[in-house]
Amino acid sequence: MSKDLAIEISHLFKTYRDADRPAVNDLSLSVEQGDFFGLLGANGAGKTTTLSILCGLIKSSSGEVRLFDKDVNTQLKEIKPMIGVVPQEYALYPELTALENLQFFGGVYGLEKKQIAEQIEGMTDILQVKDLLNKRIARMSGGEKRRFNLMAGLLHRPKLLFLDEPTVGIDVKSQQIIIDFLRELNREGMTIIYTSHLMAEAETLCNHVAVMVQGRKLCDGCPSALVAEAGVANLHELCLNLMK
């Protein structure tokens, strides 16, 4: 594995119990350090399943996944401090305030109270949620919850961040705040792996994308090169063609 790779996946398969086809079907893929990578596909394509295997939440049926040249199956303990995970479903406790949630998650990562406070201070301004820290999650809008969900995965400043559909179902302002923040994190050197079915968003954000259809990777590369090669107008059109 090259030193510059953040992720190397070879011949990955995942078949859920009682399923009639694999959710991930022979996926091989490499992501370089510093990439803003988009894993794209329609509902049910296998994006969340792939992401869950990559960050060690579920086990694959077969195949190999290495993060920073460490095996996810056997070296997860060493990998965990380097990665952050922002799930599609909210990870936050609804009855706790945002601050209480962040303090809890910071503690899970083994951070000192002071470190947690510094991280919160740094992120609340950029994400425009400073006034909401003492509000209970249950009383927040989707866009507010998304921003705190994101913060919870970033408290320990991971080298590699996994995000599952971070901007779905929220208003354009919240979307833009999150996008700008992710761009900045990537500029600072964080490798970002994000899943989406929002093709226009992925096209502007990502330097590398892969398109999955029914568990299989149909193409991967730089969005502009893929679009040019296929002779189509944009990523949206490319994906529509691939899904036919």
Ligand X SMILES: Nc1ncnc2c1ncn2[C@@H]1O[C@H](COP(=O)(O)OP(=O)(O)OP(=O)(O)O)[C@@H](O)[C@H]1O
Q: Which residues bind ligand X (CB under 6 A)?
A: 16, 19, 23, 41, 43-49, 88, 197
Helix H, strand E, coil C: the string for 106-132 is HHHCCCCHHHHHHHHHHHHHHCCCHHH
Identify what 41 binds: ligand X, Mg ion, none; CB under 5 to 8 Å per kind. ligand X
Query: Under the criterion CB under 5 A, does residue 186 sit at the interface with Mg ion?
Result: no
Cα 83 from Cα 24, distance rounded (Å): 22
CB 166 within 8 A of CB 182: yes
Q: Which residue in 9, 29, 36, 48 binds Mg ion (CB under 5 A)?
A: 48
DSSP for 188-241 reads TT-EEEEEES-HHHHHHH-SEEEEEETTEEEEEE-HHHHHHHHT-SSHHHHHHH
Residue 223, binding choice from ligand X, Mg ion, none, Cβ under 5 to 8 Å by partner class:
none
Least distance (Å) between residue 195 CB and Mg ion: 6
Nearest distance in Å: CB 179, ligand X: 19
Q: How far is the CB of 48 from ligand X (least distance, A)?
A: 3
Residue closest to Mg ion (Cβ): 48
Binding window for Mg ion (CB under 5 A); candidates: 48-56, 96-104, 113-121, 148-156:
48-56
**Please, what is the minimum distance in Å from the beta carbon of residue 45 to Mg ion?**
8
Q: Which does 23 bind (CB under 5 to 8 A by kind): ligand X, Mg ion, none?
A: ligand X
Minimum distance of ligand X from residue 18's CB (angstroms): 7
Residues with Cβ within 8 Å of 18's Cβ and at least 6 positions away in sequence, in order, are none
Euclidean distance between CA atoms 76 and 120, whole angstroms: 26
Q: CB-wise, 50 or 97, nearer to ligand X?
A: 50
- Which residues form the interface with Mg ion (CB under 5 A)? 47-48
